[in-house]
Amino acid sequence: MKQINIAIIGAGMIGAAHASGYRSHQARLSTSQQQFVLHTVCDARESAAAELAAVWGFAHVATDWQAVVNDPEIQVISIALPNFLHAEVAAAALKAGKHVLCEKPLALTAKEAWDLTQLAQQSDSICGSVFNYRRIPAVAQIKQWVDSGEIGNLQHLLIQYQCGYAADPQLPYSWRYRQQTAGGGALHDIGAHAIDIARFIAGDVETINGACSSITIPQRFVALGANAGHNHVALSNKRETVDTDDIASCVMRFTSGCQGLFSASRVTVGMGNTLSFTLTGSTGTIQFNSERPGEFQISRFGRENGAFVTVPNQPAFPYLSQWIPVPHDGVAIGYAESFGFMIAEFMQAVSENRPYRNGTFSDGFAVAQILEAIQRAAEQQRPVAIRELTF
């Protein structure tokens, strides 16, 4: 029987989401001819790799990502590393002939993302960017309703991703707070997801008409020891200067003519991890908030009489009947499931040896262009056309 061996590189917070996704769908997507195998977890911190491997049932532990990427036993590389390593590890994995699922942002800059996308296109590898929010069934259903004209022509999109994980000045300095290692702050960490959803629903962006960016906590203390994720650890007296945005916002115009208003913040106290949007169509409005991922609200001209109705999950929504055990009306699903649906789609593409289409490297590049255009618009205080960032 053919084995498809999976390796996750990066055993931090998001590595666990990858591991959970593969674990949830591995058995279902294996057939009598080919079996997905949870093969290796790799992290420079051996104990973190060992713990993740033990929790999710991966057979091997490694500390050298280059050895993993070049291991002929391994066919699938899932990259869950800090931003500055995404493009380097993905390029090495592509050169070694592996299939690659890479965390967002695909790269630190639009140019780096473009080069990686070109490399992927020249290869036979199946590649995907981690855009799991597209797979929240309510979000996927909203896209279908917008496409089928349920709220008329889309005219305005207000989208926000708000978190509070960096609001505490006592959180340690890390790669996230440095331009060279993160590419950007809230913009690249969580804004990347919101921009992907904006494109998913409203199509390509033409111009960033204006943008603002702020660093609200300009210095942070360096940890005494190692730190990962957003955890509190013992701090030294040494401070480092933060040069990535805590809050970034912009106004944008889509090629369809739709207007967009976007904001990402990592310092909004009380917001754990909230992606929300309001879509204004010519005949209706739709609202979604990821804190209630199992529903959305809609108001249609002449139908809801000026009020909103809540549409809860239904088995007919994308992903539900296909992937969850109890797909009744109103069964809520959350973050981990959306991540799992994405991984299941990726595994399906690998198993059928066909392109992965929903959240490609090209989508990762398009998001990278928009992120950099927002940075440029904020720095230079001028409108930036996305075509300025073509290569």
**Under the criterion CB under 6 A, does residue 114 sit at the interface with ligand SOE?**
no
Tell me the closest approach of the beta carbon of residue 220 to ligand SOE, in angstroms: 16
Of 188-196, 247-255, 318-326, 363-371, the window that binds ligand SOE (rule: CB under 6 A) is: 188-196
Q: Residue 112 or 189: which CB sits closer to ligand SOE?
A: 189
Pick one of 22, 36, 58, 165: the residue that binds ligand SOE (CB under 6 A). 165
Tell me the closest approach of the beta carbon of residue 155 to ligand SOE, in angstroms: 28
The 272-291 site mask, x for binding ligand SOE (CB under 6 A), equals: -x------------------
* C-alpha triplet 116, 359, 273: angle, nearest 5°: 110
Structure-block tokens of residue 390: 């073509």
Q: Residue 99 or 188: which CB sits closer to ligand SOE?
A: 188
Tell me the closest approach of the beta carbon of residue 13 to ligand SOE, in angstroms: 6
Pick one of 189, 245, 337, 363: the residue that binds ligand SOE (CB under 6 A). 189
Q: Residue 231 or 256: which CB sits closer to ligand SOE?
A: 231
Q: Residue 324 half-sphere exposure, CB side, CA atoms within 13 Å?
A: 26
Of 31-39, 189-197, 201-209, 212-220, the window that binds ligand SOE (rule: CB under 6 A) is: 189-197
Q: Residue 145 or 319: which CB sits closer to ligand SOE?
A: 319
Pick one of 190, 195, 201, 298: the residue that binds ligand SOE (CB under 6 A). 190
Interatomic CA distance for residues 222 and 337, integer angstroms: 35
| # chain residues binding ligand SOE, by CB under 6 A | 8
Tell me the closest approach of the beta carbon of residue 259 to ligand SOE, in angstroms: 26
**Under the criterion CB under 6 A, does residue 163 sit at the interface with ligand SOE?**
yes
Which backbone phi and psi does 359 adopt, to 5 degrees?
105, 60
**Under the criterion CB under 6 A, does residue 264 sit at the interface with ligand SOE?**
no
Task: State which residue has the least CB distance to ligand SOE.
Answer: 189
Q: Residue 166 or 298: which CB sits closer to ligand SOE?
A: 166
Of 84-92, 109-117, 187-195, 245-253, the window that binds ligand SOE (rule: CB under 6 A) is: 187-195
Interface residues toward ligand SOE, by CB under 6 A: 13-14, 163, 165, 189-190, 193, 273
